[in-house]
Amino acid sequence: MYKKYLSNTVSFKVTGGFTLIELSIVIVIIGLIVAGVVGGQSLVNQSKVRSQIAEFDKYKIAYNAFKLEYDAIPGDFNDASSYWGVSDGNGDRRINSPSTHGHLPASENMKFFEHLSQAGLLPQSYNNTWQLDLGYPSLKIDSGKGLIVAALIDSVGSGVNYQLHAWHITATYKSALFLNVGRPDVGNNYDRLIGTASPKIYHAIDQKIDDGVAMSGIFKSYKAHSSSVGDCLNSRAGDYLLTNDQAACHAIFIIED
């Protein structure tokens, strides 16, 4: 009887727990799963970055083709009504609206996309209305946010709200893509409420198409208005704050300066 009881006890201890080998296998499996999740997200982000860069190329090619055909800038074209029956720009050979005026019907921010689509230079159709993917395109890095075209950033909230952005106030471009529509559902001051991507995402784009520096070159980034998501840039040097994973940044891709 004692031998039988001892045998049953030993059997219970062996089959009811994990050996060191089994625990090691479980730990390895968990590690592989975690690595797969992290690696998978990295691949997704890389794909989004590549897609966004391809969008920049698409709009720049369409822009240059429009200039060659009509000797004018899309959005600014003052004879668009004669060609397609849509709203004209003022013909001063630059986008005349700052980045916060995209929601205004009279601005040239979204006429840019309308003129390009009417000229058959974009596969999508845009109609100059404040609606994502109808009046202006969504971002490839975040389909719930958008971009417009502008000449400069509005100086409202300068200093405190736009971290290290003095160059934005003084610089005026003929045409630049502003990745700053963080709240498509808001018609006023939409571009100051929330960022469109993290410093890591915009740093990755900057490295691939420009100099990797947030405040120089054809691709630039700056802090969104909302303080709840932290800073986009390192305030000491103006570098991307890569420790912040939040959507704290807006960005600009200059088509023509």
Strands, E, within 189-247: which ranges? Answer: 219-223
Amino acid identity of 24?
S
Bridge partners (DSSP) of residue 146 are: 138, 181
Eight-state DSSP code of residue 239? -
Residues 198 and 245: beta-carbon distance below 8 Å: yes
Give all strands of the β-sheet with 219-223 in edge-to-edge order. 146-150, 175-181, 249-256, 219-223
pLDDT of residue 189: 67
pLDDT of residue 36: 60
pLDDT of residue 91: 96
Nearest 10 degrees: Cα torsion 40, 45, 48, 54: -110
User: Structure tokens of 114?
Assistant: 């309308």
State the sign of the Cα–Cα–Cα–Cα dihedral 126, 89, 65, 54: negative
Dist. CA 218–CA 211, nearest whole Å: 8
pTM reported for the whole predicted model? 0.80
Cα separation, 250 vs 205, in Å, equals 12
| Tens-digit pLDDT string for the chain (257 aa) | 545 544 554 444 445 566 778 677 777 777 667 656 655 667 878 999 999 999 999 999 999 999 999 999 999 999 999 999 999 999 999 998 888 777 887 889 989 999 999 999 999 999 999 999 999 999 999 999 999 999 887 654 444 444 545 445 557 889 999 999 998 988 766 666 789 999 999 999 999 999 999 888 999 998 887 768 888 888 767 789 999 999 999 999 999 99
**Confidence (pLDDT) at 215:** 85
What per-residue confidence (pLDDT) applies to 229?
A: 85
Is the distance from CB of 80 to CB of 127 less than 8 angstroms? no
DSSP symbols for 54-113: HHHHHHHHHHHHHHHHHSS-TTT-TTHHHHHSS-----SSS---BTT-TTSTT-STTHHH
The C-alpha atoms of residue 190 and residue 39 are separated, in whole angstroms, by 33
Q: Where are the domains of the chain?
A: 43-256
Distance in angstroms (rounded) separating the CA atoms of residues 84 and 70: 13
Place of tokens 């986008």: 95
- One-letter amino acid at 188 equals N
d(CA 86, CA 127): 9
